[in-house]
Amino acid sequence: MAQRYAIRGDDALQCYNFSASKQPLKMKLIGSLTSPYVRKARIVLAEKKIEYEFVLDNPWNADTGVPKLNPLGKVPVLVLDDDSTLFDSRVIVEYLDSVTPNNRLLPASGRERFRIKRWEALADGVLDAAVAAFLETRRPEKEQSAAAIERQREKIDRSLEMMSEELGEQPWCTGNVFSLADVAVGSALGYLDFRLADINWREQHANLARLFDELTQRPSFAETVPQG
């Protein structure tokens, strides 16, 4: 998949084009290499075979331009061809799935659609808890709250238990078809390995480990492993 990468500098965006194509790419994804929410969007873009420009911008940096595109100051942000923006990974991936009919990740309607969205909500909840727990550990030691970290880890444990129970022996989260549910769950499990590696979810939930190992064989996952 051809992508155009850009890295924010103090004065401008310095673009590095790794595509042989000279055609301008219509959409821009703003984000970092560590954000699991950005990774989810990148995986969907790869699965849908949509060309885009990936602009690296860390919203925690003093010179970030993210708040100009998303007043919440969060990534990912998707800049469309008319310069309008979408933010929140759930909004972005749903839009991306609607752009092209190939490799549909979400049914247009019906109960199955909401089964998948429920999986996504659960996986994103794991991410929210994991990010909160990680950020708490980055505070000065005297200001950290062990109780706050424990609350977030309890959310993660309960959610992984539910994921494992509902996955069962199915090849994919909702049955025999790869979907947005698997993208979301894989992004969550990958982030646990990246930031909270002491959580031994693989040993506790062998079927989730089997699912994650299968997902990591897909180029969309292999090419978006968190870095930093």
Q: Tens place of pLDDT for every residue, the chain, 228 residues?
A: 445 445 444 333 333 233 444 455 589 999 999 999 999 999 999 999 999 999 999 999 999 999 999 999 999 999 999 999 999 999 999 999 999 999 999 999 999 999 999 999 999 999 999 999 999 999 999 999 999 999 999 999 999 999 999 999 999 999 999 999 999 999 999 999 999 999 999 999 999 999 999 999 999 999 999 998
User: CATH assignment of 3-99, given 3.50.50.60, 3.40.50.1000, 1.20.1050.10, 3.40.30.10?
Assistant: 3.40.30.10
- Residues 174 and 119: beta-carbon distance below 8 Å: yes
Residues 46-102 pLDDT 10s: 999 999 999 999 999 999 999 999 999 999 999 999 999 999 999 999 999 999 999
Retrieve residue 213's tokens. 């190992």
Q: Residue 138, Cβ neighbours under 10 Å: how many?
A: 7
- Residues 94 and 109: beta-carbon distance below 8 Å: no
Half-sphere exposure of 150 (CA within 13 A, CB side): 3
Q: How far is CA 33 from CA 59, 67, 115, 185, in A?
A: 12, 18, 29, 18
Q: How far is CA 9 from CA 42, 56, 61, 68, in A?
A: 22, 10, 11, 16
Residue ranges per structural domain of the chain? 3-99, 111-219
What CATH class is the domain 111-219?
A: mainly alpha
